[in-house]
Amino acid sequence: MKTSFPKQDIRVLLLEGVSQTAVDVFQRAGYSQIEYHKKSLPENELKERIAEAHIVGLRSRTQLTADVLEHARRLIAVGCFCIGTNQVDLGTAERLGVPVFNAPYSNTRSVAELVIAEAIMLLRGIPQKSMQCHRGGWAKSANGSYEARDKVLGIIGYGHIGTQVGVLAESMGMHVIFHDVETKLSMGNARAAASLQDLLQRSDVVTLHVPETPSTKMMFGAREIAAMRKGAVLINASRGSVVDIEALAEALRSEHLAGAAVDVFPTEPKSNDDPFVSPLVGLDNAILTPHIGGSTLEAQDNIGIEVASKLVRYSDNGSTLSAVNFPEVSLPEHPKSRRLLHIHKNVPGVLSRINELFSAGNINIDAQFLQTDAEVGYVVIDVSAGEDQADELKAKLATIPGTLRSRVLY
């Protein structure tokens, strides 16, 4: 069958060692051109490889900037095999007609479990005690060691991860308070704090679970750290840009904070072969982990299946359900029709031009699906047409002013 992109020609570029389960999903769906890289690529190589790719899969290291996306002339979709999508210029991707998908839930439990473990470790002063043992010391003492029971946990960002942390913490007898910019339903006995300041003043453990956005960049600086109780501990497994790392280092050195656990950093090594540099290195009261909050085999395998399935569904069927930057449509299969896709700038008159084109050609529309957002309109048209006719229609659709992409799906 004549389609814009026959499956055997669709090139899938998978970066950063995404789980083998993703490769399996593509292969089972009939995609054979899969280029797999265990690491992220240097920018020049990325631009070269992305120029050939129709589908790209990445994790948090690969930066899909506007400049990189300009090189991606064949790109039809991007998959972030993680929760965060801040590494992709989502606006540019949308304006190029490229939907971006992620896995909003699959690693949330893994992060929550790590945070709970770290809260206990920090409350007991284990990082310092462990370091002393490594150096041949023996600090057998209860000083500075506390149970988690009856302590206050303050959660900043009460979303998928924050709520799970709260539920697990309550099962250990902690009192949970949270701060969010949205009104949130409390889980269990958790209560919204009156303000961020209120949360900071009341919490023994503060944990950050906000996304990277303009409003969260450096939201946790010297002022917020100073507002925390003396001897409290801080956990950041959200994004490195959220915390002023120099201010945190200072608070750990002065012991205003008893400890911190940090999984994400303002600058992270591009690969496991690159050195890790941070003002927190060498501080005994800091647990430092290499951005592995969501890195469990269970989470990565589930993410591989979830994101690859969304990419296959878009590529095979046109559905954009749960895309993070694109009008969402969930489409039924109409195997007896030809399916055409049209992605356009959301300006007046495009839909009527599309419909004129079909009525002028006396083509019966079996079904039509339209969704728009401020930037882009996405129309899916199922028609009773022959192969060549569909091809012709696609060419005509491409000439409508404002068109970003047009495609015969099947």
Ligand X SMILES: O=C(O)CC[C@@H](O)C(=O)O
Ligand Y SMILES: NC(=O)c1ccc[n+]([C@@H]2O[C@H](COP(=O)([O-])OP(=O)(O)OC[C@H]3O[C@@H](n4cnc5c(N)ncnc54)[C@H](O)[C@@H]3O)[C@@H](O)[C@H]2O)c1
Contact footprint for ligand X (CB under 6 A): 59-60, 82-84, 107, 294
The answer to whether the CB of 400 falls within 8 A of the CB of 353 is yes
Strand stretches in 22-149, DSSP E: 33-36, 55-58, 77-80, 100-101
For residue 55, the minimal CB distance to ligand X (Å) is: 18
Choices 107-115, 121-129, 131-139, 395-403; region in contact with ligand Y by CB under 6 A: 107-115
Q: Which residue is nearest to ligand Y (CB)?
A: 159
268 is catalytic: yes
Please tell me whether residue 157 binds ligand Y under the rule CB under 6 A: yes
For residue 190, the minimal CB distance to ligand Y (Å) is: 13
Say which residues have a Cβ less than 8 Å from residue 277's Cβ, sequence separation at least 6: 267
291 is catalytic: yes
Among ligand X, ligand Y, none, partner that 212 touches (CB below 5 to 8 angstroms by kind): ligand Y
Please tell me whether residue 379 binds ligand Y under the rule CB under 6 A: no
The answer to whether the CB of 358 falls within 8 A of the CB of 340 is no
Please tell me whether residue 221 binds ligand Y under the rule CB under 6 A: no
Site for ligand Y in 79-98 (CB under 6 A): 83-84
Catalytic site residue from 250, 268, 328, 392: 268
The answer to whether the CB of 129 falls within 8 A of the CB of 139 is yes
CA distance 62 to 45: 12
How many C-beta neighbours within 10 Å does residue 126 have?
Answer: 16
For residue 262, the minimal CB distance to ligand Y (Å) is: 10
For residue 349, the minimal CB distance to ligand Y (Å) is: 36
Virtual torsion, Cα 117, 121, 124, 128, nearest 10 deg: 180
221 class by beta-carbon count within 10 Å (0-12 exposed, 13-18 middle, 19+ buried): middle
For residue 234, the minimal CB distance to ligand X (Å) is: 18
CA distance 105 to 299: 9
Packing angle of the helix pair 108-123, 160-171 (nearest 10 deg): 50
3-class SS of residue 281: coil
List 117, 133, 167, 181, residue binding ligand Y (CB under 6 A): 181
Q: Which residues pair with 408 in a beta bridge?
A: 340
* Residue count, binding to ligand Y (CB under 6 A): 32
Among ligand Y, ligand X, none, partner that 382 touches (CB below 5 to 8 angstroms by kind): none
61 is catalytic: no
Look up residue 318 and give its amino acid.
G
List 160, 229, 345, 396, residue binding ligand Y (CB under 6 A): 160
Among ligand Y, ligand X, none, partner that 10 touches (CB below 5 to 8 angstroms by kind): none
Catalytic residue set? 239, 268, 291
Residues interacting with ligand Y, by CB under 6 A? 83-84, 107-108, 111, 156-162, 179-182, 209-213, 215-216, 219, 237-239, 263-264, 291, 293-294
